[in-house]
Amino acid sequence: MKVRGKPYRTIWPAADGWAVEIIDQTRLPFEFATLRLETLADAADAIKTMRVRGAPLIGATAAYGMALAMHADPSDGNLSAAAKALKVTRPTAVNLRWAVDDVTAHLKGLSPNARAGTAYERAGEICDDDVAICSAIGDHGLKLIEAAWQKKKKRGRVNVLTHCNAGWLATVDWGTALAPVYKAFDAGIPVHVWVDETRPRNQGAALTAWELIEHGVLCITGTDRTTASGDVANKIGTYLKALAARDNKVPFYVALPGPSIDWSLTDGRDIPIEERGAEEVTRMTGRTRAGEVVAVEVTPEGAAARNPGFDVTPARLISGLITERGVCKASKAGLAKLFPEKT
């Protein structure tokens, strides 16, 4: 996708061929800045501090983290230490474990001096695959938006509600939930996106959902981990959107790449939910009129806060899953039909 007219991915190999560059998402929207990752610790820190975030991009960064580790020390000991260090950075997005295990499997049988080259190659493939997968999700999701456009007799616009960020910044390119929106935009369909905030008060669910039925909205979100039976972990607040959508008869879709499916789980309650620092809730960051970016306290001194990053939406509330292989029911049978080799 483009930033100021220039095409970008969210992660790419640096010109020197061994370091890795990312867009530092903690500086957005106030500043567009890129950051160079040179070590395993840099990659792990970028994931943990959410300089990169979004399940597919977390996986891609972890794959490059393995390559940076092998560049420094390709021994057996460092291979397992690197995998361990990356896996504990964030617990919910299953793409992290998937990417680390994938790269490890490619490296295990190799002699140490062949490992770094193969790790970079595999990380590059994981990135390219993610772009192709998200583009395919976009093509399948586009059909839903086209159908909504036909239903409106091509009048007005198609409204899409999404939650959190499942756009290109959450992936290597295109996004999951937003890929169909970008494709629809490119196809000349007028699309309007309701962009939910994800703060604890959830005005999006309470107020925006009330408006949805007036506008014929479609909900599309992303996911950090989906079980084999179609339960979906995504940014906290997603469950409320799904309940509101059901009550207002608004279709609720989840867009996901294959690596976001955890085939070992069949019950969403077994998905580990990340607990982040309380200060993310008790403080807000913004830009003053003088242009300074500052954090301010929004709770009384000493107030305690819990900050779970995700919640789980049960499959029964989901109208369909948009994958790179097509759209299916959020159920064991639906997913098994599209991914027969996994069952």
Which residues have a catalytic role annotated?
224
CB of 17 to ligand MRU, least distance (A): 28
Instruction: Give the tokens for residue 153.
Output: 């007799």
Tell me which H or E stretch contains 191: strand 191-195
Site stretch for ligand MRU (CB under 6 A), options 1-9, 151-159, 218-226, 298-306: 218-226
CB of 63 to ligand MRU, least distance (A): 16
Q: Is 61 in the site for ligand MRU (CB under 6 A)?
A: no
Q: Is 56 in the site for ligand MRU (CB under 6 A)?
A: yes
Q: Is 44 in the site for ligand MRU (CB under 6 A)?
A: no
Do 218 and 177 touch, CB atoms closer than 8 A? no
Count of residues in contact with ligand MRU, rule CB under 6 A: 17
Instruction: Give the tokens for residue 15.
Output: 């010109």
Among 224, 231, 262, 324, binds ligand MRU (CB under 6 A): 224
Strands 158-162 and 310-313, by their bridges, are unpaired
> Torsion over CA of 38, 40, 42 and 44, rounded to 10 degrees?
150
CB of 235 to ligand MRU, least distance (A): 3
CA end-to-end span of the chain, whole Å? 35
- Site residues for ligand MRU, 77-116, by CB under 6 A, read 93
Distance CA 30, CA 264 (A): 40
- Which residues make Cβ contacts (< 8 Å) with residue 267, sequence separation at least 6? 227, 229, 231
Q: Is 159 in the site for ligand MRU (CB under 6 A)?
A: no
Number of residues that this document lists for the chain: 343
Neighbours of 150 (CB within 10 A): 10
Q: Is 271 in the site for ligand MRU (CB under 6 A)?
A: no
Among 47, 164, 261, 322, binds ligand MRU (CB under 6 A): 164
Q: Is 220 in the site for ligand MRU (CB under 6 A)?
A: no
CB of 294 to ligand MRU, least distance (A): 22
Among 78, 159, 202, 223, binds ligand MRU (CB under 6 A): 223
- Site residues for ligand MRU, 229-268, by CB under 6 A, read 234-235
Q: Is 222 in the site for ligand MRU (CB under 6 A)?
A: yes
Q: Is 219 in the site for ligand MRU (CB under 6 A)?
A: no
Peptide bond into 308 cis (omega under 30): no
Do 95 and 87 touch, CB atoms closer than 8 A? no
- Which lies closer to ligand MRU via its Cβ, residue 59 or residue 74? 59
Distance CA 117, CA 125 (A): 12
Instruction: Give the tokens for residue 188.
Output: 């000349």
Which residues are near ligand MRU by CB under 6 A?
A: 53-56, 93, 164, 166, 170-171, 176, 221-224, 234-235, 309
